[in-house]
Amino acid sequence: MFALLTVLLIAASHTILLSSFSNLEARDTIKNTEKIEQTIAWEALYIDRIARDWAYWDDTYEFINTSNPEYIQSNLPEVTLFDLDLNIILFVNKSGDLVYPMSVDLVNRTSVSVPKELLEGIDSGLLTTQGNTDYIQGVILLEEGPMLIVGRPILASLEEGPSAGTLIFGKYIDNSYIASLEERTQSSLSLYTLNEEMPPDFQDAFDEAVRGNGNAVNILGDERVAGYFILRDITGEPAAIMRADYPRELYAQGKKTLNYIYGLLLLSGIVMGTATRFSLDRLLVSRLIAIDSFLDKVKREKDTSKRLEMEGEDEIHRLSKGINEMLSSIRLAEQELKSREYEKKFILDSLEEIVVLRDPNFNIRWANEAALKNKDLLMVETKELTSDSPQAADKDIIQKSRYPQAPGWTDQEFTSSEGKTWLLRSKLVCNETGDTIAILETGVEITERKKYELELFRAKQDAEVANHTKSEFLANMSHELRTPLNSIIGFSDLLYEKVYGNLNARQIKAVGNVSSSGKNLLSLINEILDLSKVEAGSFELHYSTFWLAEALAEVRDMLFPFATSKGINIEFELENNLPRISADRERIMQVLSNLMTNAVKFSNENGCIRVKATQSNDFIQIAVSDEGIGIAAADHDKLFKPFSQIDSSSSKKYQGTGLGLALIKEIVQLHGGSVWFESEAGKGSTFGFSIPLNGEKLICKL
């Protein structure tokens, strides 16, 4: 372990310290490279000072305007540029014409012609100043090599008035200049321009410097490191890149220091590891082996009454005390578990119901006495029972085929050889991860309950037959009653209309009552007949296509006298562009009439009834709302049941048999729709229903 820690420490030190030395080397290289870059900047500043002195000289201002040869004889002898250590001096007037040039070779100390690139730059205006504050500074790439150029406007000594032209000084950045830089900076320098093909390291450094707008560093090997910086032209664009090479003294010294650190760490690790192992063997390992041997003995002998004796007052001693306490707790828990097992066995054996617990392979783990007395109900294998279980002697029980397939209860009825009926239930017992760990089975005798169920089924069949017979009887009787009622109503109407002669007021009132009562009785018989047809399965629908708005208007016209008598206003709210409906028009009007009649009947005087119709997918939804007495929540279950009203007082105050809503529900459901309502006592009611737009096709499809 100490060897591993030592290796990890050495690796971490190597990574961190070597990276630190590399970063330090890079910063030092950049710092030295910046010094070289600063040296070139000072060179440019030196040339700029000379150019400024000459450009702000009154004699120069006069010379650029008059071309006086005395100025040249007195100020520009042949040795002038050699003394200034410059290669070029050019006088350009404000018109851009070259007034006087001077160009020399400092190495051979001879006069040479002005490079054509400079003349082209003057002609294009690139090397001429435009205002009094303009100046030119940067590198120009010439055929002979890069040249450091400085230009200043020619002004009077007071720097007032317009510029007379431009004074240009230049110095080649050639091998001699680079050699002087190397001597001054004690480094090895190399220069490549953009016109030349650069080596790969120059190209990579150039790209990095352009992207990062700074200097770049590159490792040239184990011995050398290089820093790179860019020389820019007078427009600020890159023109050349210079490399400065340095020996990797700092990095080499860092690696040497690291080797010393590695040796010290390795030696410390060996010494610490040896000492620690000796201490562990003597103070810890031997005592842990004694604890392990004691625990192995307790496990082998299954004797939790033994105790571990360990000398000392350290953590090992406290561990031994904890082990002894744990053994005491285990012993108490074993005794408590045995007591609970006995209680459980006693309780389960006292039950008359069957209780069986199986393992996932359907082998029995435990069965109470009731289960063992009914072996033909078990049909399980007992190979997993312990030798001390009383159920272990039952070897004649065979394996059962039924197995629950879900976590819930699975029920199965079974008839024993004694003729008794049992309800057997099984359930999977799962752990927290959902894996099956056991199967619980229970059984209870239901012989008497099955007899009651059979008798109840037979009674239900008898009731259904009686109900069907009742429906047929009502349908037949309704037909028999309608014939004389129609005759009574017809003759009473004739008498009321005085077809057979005049009647006095009392006779007219009596005849009117006979006609009104007959019509109410005929309406009741019609509702009973319709409901009987539904129950008898002989109710038929006659489909046609019609507009809902027209049907609603007809129902409103029929109810107008009734609604007007109570001062009730009926309002329609129909969705735009409702399509035509395919349904039994007469039955739909019957539904609308019943709902709107109920709304008027149970509304307060001077109230308002709202009828709303909307389309939802392929269904039309109609809702009738009133502001009447409403229906309490306790009475909601009575709605839509035949012959049922909210209470007797309502039936006395509001006439009716309670068949209307029941018939509405049946008619809507026959159309393939549904009914709904919302109501609260004292706050009005809303009854609604929905039917398919094309109910005939929907019913045929169903």
Is residue 596 within 8 A of residue 624, CB to CB? The reply is: yes
Report which of 337, 273, 218 is spatially closest to residue 7, judged by C-alpha positions. 273
| pLDDT, mean of residues 240-252 | 81
* Beta-sheet strand order (sheet of 224-232): 188-193, 238-247, 224-232, 216-219
Report which of 583, 546, 572, 555 is spatially closest to residue 696, judged by C-alpha positions. 583
- Rounded distance, CA 549 to CA 433, Å? 62
- Rounded distance, CA 467 to CA 456, Å? 16
HSE-CB of 157 using CA atoms within 13 angstroms? 4
Structural element, H or E, at residue 365: strand 364-367
Q: Which residue blocks in 130-281 are alpha helix, DSSP H?
A: 175-185, 200-212, 249-280
pLDDT digits (tens, 9 = 90+) for 196-208: 888 888 888 888 8
- Measured in degrees and rounded to the nearest 5, phi and psi for residue 370 equal -60, -35
Work out the pLDDT band at 70, boundaries 50, 70, 90.
Answer: confident
What is the amino acid identity at position 620? Answer: I
pLDDT score at 218: 83
- Rounded distance, CA 661 to CA 642, Å? 8
| pLDDT, mean of residues 361-381 | 71
- Measured in degrees and rounded to the nearest 5, phi and psi for residue 92 equal -120, 130
| pLDDT, mean of residues 166-178 | 89
Higher pLDDT, 385 or 360: 360
Answer whether residue 285 shows pLDDT above 80. no
pLDDT score at 16: 72
The first and second tokens of residue 292, run together, are 């392990």
Would strands 608-616 and 569-574 be described as parallel, antiparallel, or unpaired? parallel
Would strands 188-193 and 165-172 be described as parallel, antiparallel, or unpaired? unpaired
pLDDT digits (tens, 9 = 90+) for 575-634: 888 889 999 888 888 889 888 888 888 888 888 999 999 988 889 999 999 888 877 766
| Residue listed under structure tokens 């169920």 | 453
What is the amino acid identity at position 234? Answer: I
Report which of 554, 553, 610, 549 is spatially closest to residue 579, judged by C-alpha positions. 549
Residues making up the chain, counted from first to last? 702
- Measured in degrees and rounded to the nearest 5, phi and psi for residue 607 equal -90, -165
- Measured in degrees and rounded to the nearest 5, phi and psi for residue 63 equal -65, -40
The first and second tokens of residue 15, run together, are 């990574």
Ranges 258-262, 484-488, 491-495, 622-626, most confident: 622-626
| pLDDT, mean of residues 343-360 | 79
pLDDT digits (tens, 9 = 90+) for 540-570: 788 899 998 998 998 888 888 888 888 899 9
Answer whether residue 381 shows pLDDT above 70. no
Taking CB atoms within 8 Å and a gap of at least 24, the contacts of 264-272 are 265/6, 265/9, 265/10, 265/13, 266/6, 266/10, 268/6, 269/2, 269/3, 269/5, 269/6, 269/9, 270/2, 270/6, 272/2
As a whole number of angstroms, the longest Cα–Cα distance in the chain is 160
Report which of 57, 55, 121, 111 is spatially closest to residue 80, judged by C-alpha positions. 111
* Cβ density class 35-59: b for 16+ within 10 Å, e for less: ebbeebeebbeebbebbbebbbbee
pLDDT digits (tens, 9 = 90+) for 588-602: 888 898 888 888 888
